[in-house]
């Protein structure tokens, strides 16, 4: 099977690329040179029935790298998240830090995990797509806790349907790509309901304010939210914050409805960023023109202090 880049994560020092097809993760210099395999074994996929071998990974993986360059790999097909130390090399055994040796639906298992986010204290948030929920795993825990969704597919604001990405800020607000509901939700900590912030029409489409099977998202340093709008073959840009600095408190705009009209007000947000890049398969030239959209907003006095990753997605 020929290799293709499935996911990418950029730190201050390195570029990490999940090379699907060859079943490994590569680490490169910031210049894109000196590629070294740090996870997996070349052309040897993990087998879901081989519970003892954690040196291999499956075809579909998503990456997260912490501030110490430790690598987390969401192994979608095999229903688990693996941790690898910063000095890992090809064939190094990973440690299961979320999920188990087999996919499942109880609190100790995951089913088709996709996007992951790891806090500074090692708490792991997993978009548990096959179980229609977001799971939070405390460091060292053998069980996850459902923090968004009911575990059953649905389109109400307390439900998710195949969520594929999650970002968490410093106050515990979660930003969730709810893929099969074609929307993005923001979820307050300890709440049983989310609020829709992007593509809130209740349907899919190719209009500027709509999405069709979004897969992942990214905030940049200017407060823009970029969304991989998969089945529309485009990247959508929504202006969520006015400014977005790595270690400062920027001015922000809060979306309250989906519109192509520019109208902003302010709320306070601070997000710590790390760069991430994601794709859903081989890179091909899109047939649809990419559109840039600014979400209309109305006045709000809500204040949020946030931490997140800056992620740059690829088509």
- Residue range(s) defining the domain that contains residue 33: 1-107
In a domain, 11, yes or no: yes
CATH number at residue 82: 2.120.10.30
Question: Is 38 in a helix, a strand, or coil?
Answer: strand
Cβ-contact 80, 102 below 8 angstroms: no
> Average pLDDT over the chain, rounded to whole?
79
Number of domains in the chain: 1
7 belongs to a structural domain:
yes
pLDDT at residue 49, rounded to an integer: 54
Confidence band, pLDDT 50/70/90 cuts, at residue 111: very high
Comparing 293 with 178, the larger pLDDT belongs to: 178
* 229, part of any domain: no
Indicate the pTM of the whole model: 0.77
Q: Which residues have a Cβ under 8 Å from the Cβ of 259 and sit 6 or more positions away?
A: 209, 295, 296
Query: Does residue 69 fall inside a structural domain?
Result: yes
Distance (Å, whole) CA 21 – CA 12: 27
Residue 108: CB partners within 8 Å, gap ≥ 6? 99, 100, 142, 143, 144
Residue 262 falls inside a structural domain: no
Comparison of pLDDT for 95 and 170, the residue scoring more = 95
Read off the pLDDT band of 133 (50, 70, 90): very high
With the C-alpha atoms ordered 70, 28, 77, 204, is the resulting torsion angle positive or negative? positive
The span from the CA of 109 to the CA of 152, in Å, is 15
């Amino acid at each position: 099977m020929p290799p293709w880049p499935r996911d990418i994560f950029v730190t201050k020092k390195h570029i990490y690329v999940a090379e699907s097809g060859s079943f490994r993760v590569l680490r490169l210099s910031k210049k894109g040179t000196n590629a070294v395999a740090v996870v997996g074994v070349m052309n040897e996929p993990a087998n879901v029935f081989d519970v003892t071998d954690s040196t291999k990974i499956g075809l579909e993986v998503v990456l997260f790298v912490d501030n110490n360059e430790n690598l987390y790999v969401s192994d979608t097909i095999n229903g688990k998240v693996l941790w690898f130390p910063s000095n890992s090399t090809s064939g190094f055994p990973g440690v299961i830090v979320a999920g188990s040796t087999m996919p499942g639906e109880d609190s100790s298992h995951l089913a088709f995990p996709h996007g992951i986010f790891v806090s500074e204290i090692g708490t792991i948030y997993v978009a548990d797509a096959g179980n229609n929920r977001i799971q939070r795993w405390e460091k060292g825990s053998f069980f996850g806790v459902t923090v968004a969704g009911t575990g059953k597919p649905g389109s109400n604001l307390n439900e998710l349907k195949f969520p594929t990405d999650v970002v968490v800020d410093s106050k515990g607000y979660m930003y969730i790509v709810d893929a099969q509901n074609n929307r993005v939700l923001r979820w307050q900590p300890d709440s049983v309901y989310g609020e829709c912030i992007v593509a809130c029409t209740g349907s899919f489409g190719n209009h500027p304010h709509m999405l069709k099977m979004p897969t992942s998202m990214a905030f940049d340093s200017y407060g823009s939210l970029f969304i991989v709008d998969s089945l529309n073959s485009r990247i959508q840009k929504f202006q969520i914050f006015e400014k977005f600095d790595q270690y400062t408190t920027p001015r922000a705009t809060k979306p309250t409805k989906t519109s192509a009209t520019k109208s902003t007000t302010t709320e306070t947000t601070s997000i710590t960023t790390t760069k991430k890049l994601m794709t859903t398969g081989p890179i091909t030239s899109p047939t649809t023109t990419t559109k840039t959209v600014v979400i209309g907003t109305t006045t709000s006095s809500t204040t949020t202090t946030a931490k997140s990753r800056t992620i740059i997605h690829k088509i």
